[in-house]
C-alpha cells in the first residue's frame, strides 16, 4: 500500500454520534504509553510533519479520530487505555466510547492492537483482545519499540511468539515494529490492505450483554 494522501476527516466524542465517513475503517488501539500516535505517523508517512498528536504525557487522544487515507479508507485512532493519568470517570467514558464503536461500526474491517515489545502483555491487553473476539473483529498485533530491545533478546526471536501465546492469537498475526526506524511499517501496511479487502460486517455485534 502506498500512502498518497492523508487528511483529518473528523472525530467522535460520545456514543451515538454519526461517523465522519462511510469509508472502510482500520482502527488502532493500545495502552496509552505504547507509542500509538508515533506509529500512526510513521505508517502515514508523517514522522516529522505529524498528523496524529504525539505527547510526552500518555492519554492525549481522547476521541475517536478519523483520518481519511488515499480517499479510500479511514484510519481510526482510538483513545488509549490503562496508563493515562486521568480521572477514573474519564477512563470509563473512553471505555464506553470504544466498546460502542467496536460494536456499532459496520465499516470497521479490523483492529491493529499495539503492545510494547519490551514488556509482557498485561491483563488489560488480554481483556481488549477478548472484547475483539466477542465482536468478531479481525485483529493484528503490532509489537512497538522493538528498536529498544536488547540485541540478545532480538537474536533469540522469541518476542513475537511469546506475545502471540499470551494474547491467544496466531504468531502470523504479530508484526514487530518501530516508529523510530520504520521497521515493520511495510508489513503492517500490507496486512492492513488485506483487512480492507474483507466484506463489511453487521453493526451491533457483541451486544448480547446489553452494554455498549
Q: Domain residues of the chain, as ranges?
A: 6-196
DSSP 21: -
| Tens-place pLDDT, residues 48-91 | 455 555 444 444 557 899 999 999 999 999 987 754 566 677 77
Among the CATH numbers 3.40.50.300, 3.40.718.10, 3.30.870.10, 3.10.20.30, which is that of 6-196?
A: 3.40.50.300
pTM score, whole prediction: 0.86
Distances from the Cα of 161 to the Cαs of 22, 114, 117, in angstroms? 36, 15, 11
Q: Write down the pLDDT at residue 155.
A: 64
Q: Write down the pLDDT at residue 59.
A: 44
State which residues of the chain have pLDDT below 70: 46-61, 82-87, 155-156, 203-212
Q: Write down the pLDDT at residue 211.
A: 45
> How many of the other CB atoms lie within 10 Å of CB of 90?
13
Amino acid at each position: 500500500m502506498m500512502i498518497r494522501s492523508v487528511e483529518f476527516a473528523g472525530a467522535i466524542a460520545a456514543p451515538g454520534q454519526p461517523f465522519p465517513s462511510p469509508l472502510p475503517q482500520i482502527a488502532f488501539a493500545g495502552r496509552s504509553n505504547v507509542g500509538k500516535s508515533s506509529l500512526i505517523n510513521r505508517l502515514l508517512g508523517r514522522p516529522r510533519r505529524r498528523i496524529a498528536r504525539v505527547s510526552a504525557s500518555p492519554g492525549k487522544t481522547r476521541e475517536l479520530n478519523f483520518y481519511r487515507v488515499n480517499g479510500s479508507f479511514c484510519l481510526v485512532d482510538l483513545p488509549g487505555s490503562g496508563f493515562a493519568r486521568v480521572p477514573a470517570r474519564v477512563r470509563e467514558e473512553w471505555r464506553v466510547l470504544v466498546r460502542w464503536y467496536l460494536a456499532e461500526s459496520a465499516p470497521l474491517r479490523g483492529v491493529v492492537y499495539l503492545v510494547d515489545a519490551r514488556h509482557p502483555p498485561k491483563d488489560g491487553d488480554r481483556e481488549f483482545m477478548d472484547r475483539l473476539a466477542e465482536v468478531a473483529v479481525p485483529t493484528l498485533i503490532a509489537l512497538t519499540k522493538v528498536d529498544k530491545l536488547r540485541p540478545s533478546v532480538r537474536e533469540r526471536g522469541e518476542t513475537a511468539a511469546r506475545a502471540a501465546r499470551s494474547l491467544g492469537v496466531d504468531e502470523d498475526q504479530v508484526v514487530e515494529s518501530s516508529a523510530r526506524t520504520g521497521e515493520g511499517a511495510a508489513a503492517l501496511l500490507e496486512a492492513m490492505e488485506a483487512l480492507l479487502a474483507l466484506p463489511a460486517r453487521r453493526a451491533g455485534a457483541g451486544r448480547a450483554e446489553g452494554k455498549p
